[in-house]
A and B are shown apart, each in its own frame.
Chain A
Amino acid sequence: MNAQPHTGLVPILLIEDEPSVTAFLRAALERHGYAVANAASGAEGLNMLRGGKYSGVISDIRMPGAVNGAEVHAWIQKNRPELCARIILISGDTANSETQAFLAQSGTPCIEKPFRVQQLMTVVEKTFGKP
């Protein structure tokens, strides 16, 4: 658990298996005033969701292990209805037809890797609001 709650702020849960991407996202979000907790896999992300409180979730779609981004999304839909509209997906693989179908059906915002900091912040502020 790398949760390092920011003073007085409910953190955003960041689920991403790639450490360099996690590092960049954390740096970018924290620099813009957000608190960040991160999980290195889908399964770990679900554990944290069960035990903690988060202002929103940013999750990679394609991750190794038993739980991928789509399943995280589905779990939230079912168990954390208050977070339903507070999910941002990131993807390095929108070419995949399953991914496309999932995105089209859920209407969840998605940022394609690689992206500029400005792109990220626009979507984050729009979805989670300013910190």
Chain B
Amino acid sequence: MDAAQSRHLPGFLERFAERAARMLSARWCAVMVFRGRETDSYQTSSGKEPPDAAEHTSLVRYARELAKEIEVRQLADSGAATEPKKSKVAVFVPITASDAESLGAICLVCEKKPLGEQEQRLLRALASHAALSLENFRRFSQLERSKRQWVEDIDAISDYIVVHDRSWRVVRTNRSLASHLGVPPVALVGEAMSSLRQIAESGSDLPCPFCRDTQQAREEYVVASPERIFLVSTSRTPGVSDDDTRTIHVLKDITDRREAERRYRELFDSIQEGLFFATPDGRFLDVNDAMVRMLGYDARDELLRADVGPHLYPAAAARERFLLALAERGVLRNYEETLRRKDGTLLHTLQNITAVRDSRGNIAQIRGLMLDVTEQKTFQSQLQRERDFNQKILNTTQSMILVLDTAGLISYANRRCFEAGYREDELIGHRLVEWVETSHRSDFEDALETTAHGQQVENLELRVRRSDASMGHFSISLSPMRDEQNTVNSVVVVMTDITDAALLQAKLAHSEKMATIGRLVSGVAHEVNNPLAAILGFTDLLLENPQVPENAREDLQIILRETQRTKDIVQDLLSFARQRPVQRELVQVNSVLRQTIKLRSYDFASHGVEVVEEFDEKLSPAFGDSQQLQQVFLNILNNAYDAVQESGQRGRIAIRTRLRGESIEVAVTDNGTGITDPERIFDPFYTTKQAGKGTGLGLSICYGIVRAHGGEILCWNNSEQRGSTFVVRVPVANEATVAAAMAKEAGR
């Protein structure tokens, strides 16, 4: 029994004790009520000789220990001697609830005497009555408490609650609703429901703003005021009379939730990424507008009707792979998938997917966000294609392409560089200028400097060391490469080995020059021959004339001799200019050389000139004019002889033959004085010999003959020893050249 109840209970129990004491003629009576470990004692106030505190404590202890239905305990006599000694006993009866719970005990203190049957029955009746009373008290208090609790609970609910009867009068409201209106809850009781219109209205004609259909036992709908939105849940408990028919409205303020929902929807629909909820078997539950747009559908509904597997996936395997990955991992981040739009075109997507699983762990729903990366993908593949294309160009170009930093260090070299024999470790990180011939380095440095300042340098022709250490003639272009800030951060160098081209160009220029000179010489010779013919002829006629005196005859002989010399010069000129067709036959070059050497062997021997023959005895035959070739070799040998004679040292002439590709190469090396100007030596009239010793046409004629053979003639000063080397190359006779030459002859 709690404190709240004790306000009414004590008076009742004290009166009960008084009555019990009277009925049983007891000196003192108490109703002891057990409250947990505590024991409350309600006793007679007017009794004779009430027990003192110690005695009371004993009595309580006895009551607690009570085991039998009625127990009698002997009490010690009081110490007072004023009264005659009488024996006192305490009689205890337990108060037991209907469920056998021990509620307390009735304790009577009286004179010692046996308890009669009548008294015992009375005691039991009293105990029973006390038990009933105590139980009732307890029930009431519980009821009271729960009723009060219920009101408190209702009041604690933030939702508005209002109960009205059939006559549309407020029966009850909770505190939230009343405080919303600024009045205490009781103030609303009995008011008409229409007074609550200010909260919100359902829009019906009924007197209650929250009722819609009074026939329904339960209703749920949303009503709105200008400020708030409420979810109204209504329950109706029909009764027999108006009084016990109740309509209960619970108004839940869902304004914030609605707002959140609205915002969510707005976000859902306005977001540029595709959002979707789908079932694992391939149905969309919801999709946003972006998703609809992305997949090329006209409306959301249309996409919601679509079957994801067959409609969106170009290949069924891809869908399966996706579901498998999702089942395994639960979450897919940046999952790349190619989907099909409604019109069949492909859509490249990047997806972030979460699987929502049910209690058994199966995937119940798929939620995802989808990005359209088609453009990026296209751009990327375009970029990739472009990159591949550029790479291909870089790899297949016949030019060497290098990238240098502004300090001139090589940071990149294309494949061609390595094909040309350079090693990566001797290029990358090294200065390109190191490969340039020393005398050209400053030119290269200047060009690099110019390029670093943003100017392009084109077709710089420099000599550059090749990977095999030989020097090549290179055409070099340098272009500045800029970063985002437009600052030159590197230099692209394109290098092309134009050695062959340069040689070819030189040869072309030379043969053109020769042709021009040929035409000139031919014209001059013709013009000179006419007066020469007259001079020679008339001189002859004079010499034939017997009238011419002897001394004049001697003069005429001089004229004749000088005219003859002039004739020889013109003949040389003409044979240079004369493109006499080559009389082609198979020629053993070695034997032609031996015959030629024999022609001069006397001079060589008598002047101590050593001739060394290094012949390749397995040399294939050439196809040409042996007489013309002999003329060429003789000319070269004569020049070599003159050169070694001039040097004043012991002369040595080495003649080597060998096969070089499709050509027979004859190299004549002497240790003479060398050539003053190798560039001009084949020019007509170029001579370094004393006047009268040569016309300067010998090598020009040789040049013409060798070219007419389809070969070439070259010369240079020796690099390791003094003297010079002449090289004659003529094509080897093979079926093709023979046939071609024959055909040419036949067509002549």
- Whether B525 lies near A93 (C-beta < 8 A) is yes
- Whether, in the assembled complex, B714 has its beta carbon less than 8 Å from a beta carbon of chain A, the answer is no
Interface centre among B525, B526, B577 (most CB of A within 10 A): B526
- Whether B541 lies near A24 (C-beta < 8 A) is yes
- In the complex, which residues of chain B have a beta carbon less than 8 angstroms from the beta carbon of A95? 522, 525, 574-575, 577-579
Interface string of A101-120 (1 = CB under 8 A from B): 10000000000111111101
- Whether, in the assembled complex, B546 has its beta carbon less than 8 Å from a beta carbon of chain A, the answer is no
Contact of B536 among A18, A93, A115 (CB under 8 A): A115
Interface centre among A27, A92, A118 (most CB of B within 10 A): A92
- In the complex, which residues of chain B have a beta carbon less than 8 angstroms from the beta carbon of A25? 537
- In the complex, which residues of chain B have a beta carbon less than 8 angstroms from the beta carbon of A101? 748
Contact of A92 among B529, B537, B579, B748 (CB under 8 A): B529
- Whether, in the assembled complex, B533 has its beta carbon less than 8 Å from a beta carbon of chain A, the answer is yes
- Whether B541 lies near A94 (C-beta < 8 A) is no
- Whether B530 lies near A21 (C-beta < 8 A) is yes
In this complex, how many residues of chain B approach chain A with their Cβ under 8 Å: the count is 26
What separation, in Å, do the CA atoms of A117 and B540 have in the docked complex? 6
Chain B nearest CB from A51 CB (Å) reads: 28
Say yes or no: A114-B544 contact (C-beta < 8 A), given A24-B538, A25-B537, A92-B526. no
Interface centre among A27, A92, A114 (most CB of B within 10 A): A114
Number of residue pairs spanning A and B whose beta carbons lie under 8 angstroms apart:
75
- In the complex, which residues of chain A have a beta carbon less than 8 angstroms from the beta carbon of B299? none
Residue of A nearest to B573 (CB): A95
What separation, in Å, do the CA atoms of A115 and B534 have in the docked complex? 9
- In the complex, which residues of chain B have a beta carbon less than 8 angstroms from the beta carbon of A97? 579
- In the complex, which residues of chain A have a beta carbon less than 8 angstroms from the beta carbon of B535? 114
Contact of A28 among B541, B574, B577 (CB under 8 A): B541
- Whether B530 lies near A113 (C-beta < 8 A) is yes
- Whether, in the assembled complex, B532 has its beta carbon less than 8 Å from a beta carbon of chain A, the answer is yes
- Whether A62 lies near B526 (C-beta < 8 A) is yes
- Whether B578 lies near A117 (C-beta < 8 A) is no
- In the complex, which residues of chain A have a beta carbon less than 8 angstroms from the beta carbon of B540? 28, 116-118
Give residues of chain A (75-131) contacting chain B, Cβ–Cβ below 8 Å.
92-97, 100-101, 112-118, 120
Chain A nearest CB from B227 CB (Å) reads: 117
Interface string of B495-528 (1 = CB under 8 A from A): 0000000000000000000000000001001110
- Whether A114 lies near B579 (C-beta < 8 A) is no
- Whether A116 lies near B525 (C-beta < 8 A) is no
What separation, in Å, do the CA atoms of A97 and B574 have in the docked complex? 12
Chain B nearest CB from A118 CB (Å) reads: 7
Residue of B nearest to A16 (CB): B530
- Whether B538 lies near A116 (C-beta < 8 A) is no
What separation, in Å, do the CA atoms of A27 and B541 have in the docked complex? 8
- In the complex, which residues of chain B have a beta carbon less than 8 angstroms from the beta carbon of A96? 522
Contact of B531 among A20, A31, A118, A120 (CB under 8 A): A20
Say yes or no: A113-B522 contact (C-beta < 8 A), given A23-B534, A25-B537, A118-B540. no
Interface centre among B532, B533, B567 (most CB of A within 10 A): B533
- Whether, in the assembled complex, B398 has its beta carbon less than 8 Å from a beta carbon of chain A, the answer is no
What separation, in Å, do the CA atoms of A92 and B537 have in the docked complex? 14
- Whether, in the assembled complex, B563 has its beta carbon less than 8 Å from a beta carbon of chain A, the answer is yes
- In the complex, which residues of chain A have a beta carbon less than 8 angstroms from the beta carbon of B578? 94-95
- In the complex, which residues of chain A have a beta carbon less than 8 angstroms from the beta carbon of B525? 92-93, 95
- Whether A24 lies near B526 (C-beta < 8 A) is no
Say yes or no: A92-B536 contact (C-beta < 8 A), given A24-B541, A28-B541, A114-B567. no
- Whether B537 lies near A24 (C-beta < 8 A) is yes
- Whether B579 lies near A24 (C-beta < 8 A) is no
What separation, in Å, do the CA atoms of A27 and B530 have in the docked complex? 16
- Whether B541 lies near A113 (C-beta < 8 A) is no
- List 8 additional A-B contacts (Cβ < 8 Å) besides A21-B537, A117-B544: A24-B533, A27-B538, A28-B540, A93-B522, A95-B575, A116-B537, A117-B540, A117-B541
* Subset of 28 A-B contacts with CB under 8 Å: A18-B530, A18-B533, A18-B534, A20-B533, A20-B534, A21-B533, A24-B533, A24-B537, A25-B537, A27-B541, A28-B540, A93-B522, A93-B526, A95-B522, A95-B525, A95-B574, A97-B579, A100-B580, A112-B529, A113-B532, A113-B533, A114-B537, A114-B563, A116-B536, A117-B537, A117-B540, A117-B544, A118-B540
- Residues on B lying within 8 angstroms of A by beta carbon are 522, 525-527, 529-538, 540-541, 544, 563, 567, 574-575, 577-580, 748
CB-CB nearest 10 A-B residue pairs: A92-B529, A20-B534, A24-B537, A95-B578, A117-B540, A114-B533, A113-B533, A113-B529, A114-B532, A93-B526
